[in-house]
Amino acid sequence: MRDERGRDRQHQRPGREHRLTPRFSAEELAAIQEAAAQVGMTVTGFCAEAAIAQASGVRAASLDPIREILADFQAELYTARITVGRIGTNLNQAVAALNTTGQAPEWLLTAALLCERRMERIDAVIALIDRRLR
Cα separation, 131 vs 29, whole angstroms = 34
Q: E strands, the chain, where? A: none
Looking at the structure of the chain, the number of domains it has is: 2
The whole-number pLDDT of residue 23 equals: 93
**Which of these three, 62, 77, 102, is where a domain ends?**
62
Residue type, 74: Q
Q: Phi and psi (nearest 5°) for 100? A: -70, -30
Judge if 58 and 71 occupy the same domain.
no
Using alpha carbons only, give the angle 7, 27, 49 rounded to the nearest 5 degrees.
30
Q: Which domain holds residue 56?
A: 1-62
Judge if 58 and 73 occupy the same domain.
no
The whole-number pLDDT of residue 6 equals: 47
Judge if 49 and 107 occupy the same domain.
no
Enter the pTM of the model.
0.42
In terms of average pLDDT, the best of 22-26, 52-56, 102-106, 119-123 is: 22-26
**Which of these three, 62, 77, 100, is where a domain ends?**
62
68-117 residue pLDDT tens: 677 777 778 888 888 888 888 888 888 888 898 888 877 788 888 888 88
Residue 4 in this model has a pLDDT that exceeds 60: no
**Which of these three, 27, 62, 97, is where a domain ends?**
62
